[in-house]
Structures are given as structure tokens and as C-alpha cells.
A and B are shown apart, each in its own frame.
Chain A
């Protein structure tokens, strides 16, 4: 009888433990992605940490924009692609327009392909680091200022930068704006 109760308690403990483990997978997943850079996320860089040593070479940059779910805004890159050189600063813009008749808040989430290019892409300024609030009918050109480091592996000849714009009007969450910022 004693043995039975002991086994029973251990097993119930394991069940409860595994239930909480499933929730622990959520932060673990995020930490894992950030540490390994698996999801191609780019964090804000500052002028001082960007090294422009080495030889520069030509590179193609492409820009893609997409709207999440029912996001009604117009959202397009001003230039679909750019010929750039590594080790130099460039600025490009994305056009947005709030087509609705109410004030809305948006957040863009960036992604880079191939994902191993993410480490060499330095963004000094990006609208994706902030939330945008637009009045009804308001439009704007949102800037990205970036540099691709000269250390970029030779196998990469073009980089695709993709932005998805989300409607976060109903998510009254300050943290979201800093979601893509560097990890303090």
C-alpha cells in the first residue's frame, strides 16, 4: 500500500510538472530564437558598434511588405529593390496610409531571408522598432536606415527584407513597441 501511494504521488507530480512545462515552452522558445538568431530577427544597432572595415562589394536588397489578417492600411515599399554596396549607409522608406475612418495603431514585424544574413544587417533606424498611430486618411513615409557589414558571407548575393504590418489598436500593450528592440 505504501509503495502504491508513493508511485501515485510521483506520477501526479509528473503530470502537474509537465502541464507547467508546456507553458514554460513559450518563454523557452522565444529565448532560444533570440540566442540563436534562428528567426532572422534584426535588433537596433548603434553607430558605434557598426564596423565598416574590410572590402565592400555589391549586393541586391529586396523589400517585401504584407498586411496581417484584416489590416486595412495601404503598406508598400517606396522602392521594391535597391542595388547597394556593403559597408555603406542607405535609407529607404515604406509608404503607409490609414484607409479607415478611425484612428489606428500599427506595428510592423521584420524578417530577413536568408536568416543567416540577419547578423550582418545593421539597422540604425527602423519604423519596425516603434508603433505608428495614424489618424483617419493620414499617410506617411516610414524610414529604415541600414548598413550591411563587409563580413557578409560570400555565398549571399541578395537579401530580402520583409515587413508584416499588424493592427494592434486593440492591444493596449506598451511592451509591444519594444518587442523588437535590442535585448537591453
Chain B
């Protein structure tokens, strides 16, 4: 199959342009993928630094390092930056690199829009971060920006926050449109929908979720803008509005958003497990249907984030059962991964280690989610550190581990060099241990009643908070090692073969390593 790639000497072959303008003007899906990935890495480090401020303050009870107002700004920005700047752009970057190569397309369908959707992102985060230096400080109302905290009581910088969310939303929507148009129209002949690689499937479903809910987020912040500046009363009870309405609209966006951040991870992990188990994935069809059911169910469970607002019993029961139902397709996926590994000839290179950790730790996060879904139990767990532990388990060893696994798995294809396996394994074990040291104790202090979003806490929570902070700093330092490993691989290293991994299947492994600037200018033949 490698004969199909490029080298059409009759056509003028052009590589990347030189210098900075290459990156500014590029419409190449690989360049844009790289930009997205580096951008998300930068945001990951900035958001991570904020997490260090938070954990340092919580190292001991009492106020030590920062003012409570600044602490509130840190938790708000940490959440927003990690979600909209870290996880989401990283997945878009992976989609840019991989989707065209996996379906045998020469590039994304709308390359200029692709360039635009990336280059507005740095401005969105510049606006958001600049609010730290404004009078009244940065947004301080939590990443969920509930009204009236984010309207009546918000600092003046809330307007900048609203515009930056608008820009991030526009970027995500353009990215999603691009992915769907590419997948629906540019698959090589022979790649039917049910033959698509699972990462492509996961991104197709994710992109539809983005199309459906990012405009709702834009609507929510637009209503806030109008309440703050134009005298409307969407969320203002004095004018006939309702603050609970804000929560409904926000979580109508927010819950599908949760799956936007995990579905691509499902795709990545499926590829890695089948490669290193050296077996075809067990239950491909059920994997696709499971992702579709999760996506559809995600639209009817939003109120489980707000059980305590005073809903009628019937609504609480409906949202509780609908939420628990999601465990069924998720369980199907976990069992399929485990069955794929069963009796496989497994080797544990770094991507596989991260993928295995994903399966175990994401499942722990899923189980604590089931506990939170139980209405009477949630009345106790609501807004405690148990919730913090839950969503960090699904996002850090869930989404972020899958992104790291993906980087280790595909970086030989991107750079042509193998990463340093020993350092990779070291990075894995440091991350694996420290992530559990950080977040597992938060289950205990949450169940014991420590509320989230406070810079201070009662004495009985001191020990586990100290443990958690130690873990957090170890995790933070481990990611510097990750940066070092990636840079080392970009600069040099053992040359990678075209297939890279013995068990690797799929079109992206048929092109040369590093992948040439243009791949699949003529569609490959697929049986």
C-alpha cells in the first residue's frame, strides 16, 4: 500500500513554507494538528500551574499563600483553561493529524476554515488570561459560572470572559464542522461507515455533539451579556427571570460537553489496545453503538448536576435512572477492551501502559459517577470534594492519559523518531502513582463533608489534603518530564519504521515515517 503515497513528480511538489509564516498561513492538516497540540500543551502547563497554586493553598488548613478572591479566580481559570484550552484543543489536534490519514483523504475538507479555527484560539485565551490584570480581577465564579454569581455579583472582567467563551465556541464549532464534512465526504473508496477506524467514529460523534451544544453555550453567555449590559432579566428574579433556568441551559450544554471530552479518548484507547494486544478489537460494532447511545443519552441527563435545586420527585427519578442507564453502554466498552486484551500477546510499551491505566482509572471515575447519580446520596455528596475526585478521575487519568497515550503512540509517525522508551515508562509510572495520590484521598475528604471551592477547611481534613497536595506537585513535575521527552523525540532519536508498532493496523501506518507533508493525494485502495 505504501506505493500509493505521493511522489507525483509530474505535479509540482511543494513542502512546507519556511519561517513563521508557514504556521500563520498554513492550511495543511498536519501543521494545524501540530499547532493545536502545542497550544493545548501550553494551556495544560498554565492551567496546571494554577492547580499548583490551589493545592499549595490547601496544603494546610488556614489561609497561607493567596487571598480568597485570588483563589476563586484560580479555580475558575483552572477549570476553563483545562477544559477549553487543554483537553478540547488536544483532541482537535489529534483529529487534524489523524482523521485524514485514517480515511485516506489528502487533507481536511475545509483547510482555510481549519486555519481560522486554530488561530482565533490564542486570542480567546489571551483575552481570558488578561482579565487577571484587570480591575476587580479575573472571573471568580467557578467554571460553571452560575448566575447570579456571574451576572449581578461578577467582576467587571466578566464581559471579557463572555467574549472569550464566544471565540472558543466559534473555534470548536468550526473544528467540528470541518471534521464532519471531511468524514462524510472524503473517505477513500471502500471505507464504508462501519469500516471506519474507531477514532474516526468517536470524532464523528463528538463533532455532532459539539454542533448541538456549543451554540447553546453561546446562547447562555449571550443571555448573561444581555442581563449585565442591556437590562434584560433572563436570570434575574427581580425582573421576572429565574436563576435556576441558567443552570438548566448551562447543563444542557455541560453534560454533552463531558462526553465531548471522553469519546475521542474511547477511540484512541481502542486503537492502542488492539495494537499491543496484537488482536483485532473485540466487538467493533458494539463499540460504535455504545458511543452512539452514550451521545444520545447525554442530552437527557443534564439535571443530575442540579438535584439539589428543588426539583419534583418525578424529575429526580427520571434523571437518576437515565444517568444510570449510561453505565450500560460504557460497561460494554470496558468489557470489550478487557476482552480484546484477553489471551492477547500483550507487550507494555508506554502507550499501552497509559491505555491500561485509562481503562482502570476511568472506570473508577465511572463508578463514583454512579454513586453521584443516586439522588438521596447526591444530596450529601453535592458540591463536596467527592465530586472533585469524580470528575478529575474521568478527566485526568481519563481524557488526559488518553491524550498522552496518543502522543506516545503516534509521535513516531509524526516525527519519524522513536521516543525514549525508558523515559516514557518513567513518565507513566510517575504520573500513574501521583495522579492516584492526588485524587484518591479527595474521595475520603469529600465523603467526610469537605465542600469544594473554599480556600480553607476544617482541621479534620488536614491529613488527606496534605497527601493530595504532595501528589499534585509530583504530578506537575512529571509533566515537565513529558515535555522533555516530546522535545527530545522531535529533535532526534531512533528512526521509526513505517509501521512503527508490530501490531499496528490502519492507513496511517502505511505512509512513510515521518508522515510526508502531503499524504494520499490519490486515494488509497481499501478492500
Interface positions of A (Cβ within 8 A of B): 3-4, 7-8, 11-12, 14-23, 25-26, 29-30, 36, 38, 68-69, 107, 109, 115-116, 164, 166-168, 171, 173, 175-176, 179
Contact = CB atoms under 8 A, between A and B. Distances in A.
19 contacts: A4-B185, A7-B185, A11-B176, A11-B211, A15-B173, A18-B211, A21-B219, A22-B215, A22-B220, A22-B252, A25-B216, A25-B219, A26-B223, A36-B312, A38-B312, A107-B238, A115-B312, A164-B237, A171-B239
Contact of B240 (A4, A17, A173): A173
Contact of B212 (A18, A38, A68, A175): A18
B128 interface: no
A18 B239 contact: no
A26 B245 contact: yes
B249 to A, nearest CB: 6
Closest 5 CB pairs of A and B: A22-B219, A18-B215, A19-B215, A166-B238, A22-B216
B240 A175 contact: yes
Contacts of A164: 237
A26 B216 contact: no
A125 to B, nearest CB: 22
Contacts of A20: 219
A17 B65 CA distance: 47
Contact of B181 (A8, A16, A38, A176): A8
Given A19-B219, A30-B242, A166-B238, 12 more contacts: A4-B186, A7-B185, A8-B181, A15-B214, A21-B215, A22-B215, A26-B223, A26-B234, A115-B312, A171-B238, A176-B239, A179-B240
A21 B234 CA distance: 15
Binding site secondary structure of chain A? helix
B288 interface: no
Contacts of A36: 312
B239 A173 contact: yes
A173 B233 CA distance: 11
A29 B219 contact: no
A148 to B, nearest CB: 20
Nearest to B312: A38
Contacts of A107: 238
Interface residues of B, number: 36
Contacts of B496: none
Contacts of B181: 4, 7-8, 11
B109 interface: yes
Contacts of B186: 4
Nearest to B174: A15
B167 to A, nearest CB: 15
A116 B312 CA distance: 9
B249 A25 contact: yes
Interface string B201-245: 000000000011111101110010000000001100111101001
B180 interface: yes
B110 interface: yes
Contact of A23 (B152, B219, B311): B219
B184 interface: yes
A69 B149 CA distance: 12
Nearest to B252: A25
A152 to B, nearest CB: 17
Contacts of B312: 36, 38, 115-116
Nearest to B220: A22
B265 interface: no
A90 B214 CA distance: 51
Contacts of A30: 242
